[in-house]
Amino acid sequence: MNPTISIAVILTVLQAVHCQKIRDLSACLLGTSLRVDCHYENKTANPLTYEFSMFRENRKRVIQSTLSVAENSLKVRSNVTLSKNLVCLQLHNFENTDEGTYICELKITGDLTGNQVKNITVLKDKLEKCAGISLLIQNTSWLLLLLLSLPLLQAVGIRRPHRPAEPHRPNVALCKRRRRTI
């Protein structure tokens, strides 16, 4: 077998075997809502399924899911948003009774590695407030592009607007001196 073909087959198999991985799971308080961010890596365009659940007092409660049925009392207080490499849960009206271990479980169709699972312990008194800039941090490529393009924009003549010059006012003292010498 041709070595080039062998390497291509091995790389294809490795990509299929390891299509996704949860990189990070974090929680913060956004007003009165709990926000849980599940960052993941995905190397395919296959559909993603997810489950957010909490474990408290030896009982698992499903909050939002495309894998199983969610508990209605939690489902009506929550929503999930999906963006590139991020699944974000918001649980509204977060109370002390909602404390526990929060679990993010992801499955990508056709992924041979099975479900990826990560958990985080959430205590209301220990939660940090969500940073206002966290949305910018999630995808900073546009910000980097803007910063890198500023010198180029200035070089082609796009500069910040400048104020019009103030109307010329003659110096009264200078005018008085000229009159005396005449």
Query: pLDDT: is 136 or 70 the higher one?
Result: 70
Q: Is the pLDDT of residue 180 over 60?
A: no
Instruction: Report how far Cα 19 is from the mean position of its chain's Cα atoms.
Output: 20
pLDDT of residue 46: 82
pLDDT of residue 169: 61
**pLDDT interval class at 19 (50, 70, 90):** low
User: Which amino acid makes up residue 28?
Assistant: C
Is it true that domain 21-125 has CATH number 3.30.479.10?
A: no
With contact defined as beta carbons under 8 Å apart, do 99 and 122 qualify?
A: yes
Q: Taking the complete model, does pTM exceed 0.75, yes or no?
A: no
Q: Where are the domains of the chain?
A: 21-125
User: Which amino acid makes up residue 106?
Assistant: L
Q: What is the per-residue pLDDT across 115-164, written as a single tens digit (0 to 9) for each?
A: 889 999 999 999 999 986 444 444 555 555 666 766 766 776 665 555 66
Q: Which two tokens stand for residue 169?
A: 């006012």
Looking at residue 129, the DSSP 8-state letter turns out to be B
* CA distance linking residue 182 with residue 168, whole number of Å: 23
C-alpha pair distances (Å), 153 with each of 109, 144, 162: 44, 14, 16
Q: Is the pLDDT of residue 14 over 80?
A: no
